[in-house]
Amino acid sequence: MHDIIVIGGGPSGMTAALYALRANKTVLILEKENFGGQIANSPKVENYPTIKEISGLELSDKMFEQISDLGVDFELEDVENIQKNGEIFQVKGNYNTYEAKAVIIANGVKHRTMGLPNEEDLIGKGVYYCATCDGPLFKGKEVYLIGDANTALQYALLLAGYCTKVHMFTLFSGFFGEKVLQDRVNAKENIEVMNNMNLVEYKGSGKLEGLVFQNTQTKEVFEYKTDNVFVSIGQLPDNDKFSNLVDLDKGFIVTDEDMKTKTPGLFACGDTRKKAVKQVVTACNDGAVAAMSAVKYLG
């Protein structure tokens, strides 16, 4: 039995753990993959207060080291559901079931896919979602990238540093990321941007052999031979499994400004909740508020 279970080990979840531990509460973090969440895959973070420049992985490591020193418990578990029996929450993972007096959901979001028929079969066999993780496999080669927001722009700059050429495709007529990132991408001679391009087919069986795009304006079809593509088109929430205890809006958890859900003792923070601004600093803010609300709930 723990005082608080935190579901998710990203910046929001780790900040929640930090504040709860400092309030002398016992905390268990359940994380299904790796600590750091999305930010761990970011090659460069330049908008975190007091730190001019840091990799997402290094920032995540520092956060994890801080809560580890304070005595956080953690398990690698993919949470399947939450039940509340009286005043106690039971959190069922794919291996074990855990109990706590309060729960904070900070499970972030998952990668949005193109939704094409053979995409799942090609994941890791030419189709990738993390340039930080898999980009080095294509050092000295040409690479293909789909996306138009901040993460895609960062990936383009990262890949351009060690790949001969980055072919970048956007669905609309331009980028949606920060202007400073747009300017850097546009200044790179080895990044070629193709606008208004919709991926309609992955070529290949067992491994990626090519990509087929259609121009959304002219309807012209373009085919490229390649053994790689990095897909960076956003993320999706994964909260249906919590719908028995929370209200959802387009898949995101509805909370008040104190991170409270409709169920007493159950809180949500970070990108998993309905909110307008999703940045690492706002995720940390949510985590701090959620922990303080949970501590107050516990009395």
What confidence tens digit (pLDDT) does each residue in 189-238 have?
999 999 999 999 999 999 999 999 999 999 999 999 999 999 999 888 99
Residues 6 and 28 in one domain: yes
Residues 241 and 215 in one domain: no
* Structural domain harbouring 157: 119-231
- Identify the DSSP state of 92: E
Q: Tell me, what's the pLDDT at 73? A: 98
Q: Tell me, what's the pLDDT at 34? A: 84
Residues 223 and 252 in one domain: no
Q: Which residue type occupies 20? A: A
Mean residue pLDDT across the chain: 95
| Whole-angstrom distance, CA of residue 8 vs CA of residue 35 | 8
> What is this structure's pTM?
0.78
Final residue of a structural domain among 208, 231, 254: 231
Q: Tell me, what's the pLDDT at 132? A: 81
Token pair, residue 194, equals: 């193709």
Residues 287 and 191 in one domain: no
Residues 94 and 173 in one domain: no
151: helix, coil or strand? Answer: helix
Q: Tell me, what's the pLDDT at 44? A: 78
**Strand order from edge to edge, sheet including 127-128:** 127-128, 229-231, 142-146, 165-169, 191-194
- Identify the DSSP state of 54: B
Final residue of a structural domain among 178, 203, 231: 231
CATH code, domain with 34: 3.50.50.60
Instruction: Render each residue's pLDDT in the chain as its tens digit; 299 residues.
Output: 999 999 999 999 999 999 999 999 999 999 998 899 878 877 778 889 999 999 889 999 999 999 999 999 999 999 999 999 999 999 999 999 999 999 999 999 988 899 999 999 999 899 999 888 789 989 999 999 999 999 899 999 999 999 999 999 999 999 999 999 999 999 999 999 999 999 999 999 999 999 999 999 999 999 999 999 999 998 889 999 999 999 999 999 999 999 999 999 999 999 999 998 888 999 999 999 999 999 999 99
Tokens 């956003």, residue located: 234
Residues 246 and 224 in one domain: no
Residues 132 and 226 in one domain: yes
Residues 220 and 242 in one domain: no
Q: Tell me, what's the pLDDT at 235? A: 82
How far separated are the first and last CA of the chain, in Å rounded?
17
Final residue of a structural domain among 231, 250, 270: 231
Token pair, residue 5, equals: 């279970």
Number of domains in the chain: 2
Residues 6 and 100 in one domain: yes
H/E stretch holding 253: strand 252-253
Sign (positive or negative) of CA dihedral 148, 150, 156, 159: negative
Residues 15 and 79 in one domain: yes
Residues 149 and 123 in one domain: yes
Sign (positive or negative) of CA dihedral 59, 64, 65, 67: positive
Residues 78 and 147 in one domain: no
66: helix, coil or strand? Answer: helix
**Strand order from edge to edge, sheet including 210-215:** 197-203, 210-215, 221-225
Beta bridge partner(s), residue 98: 91
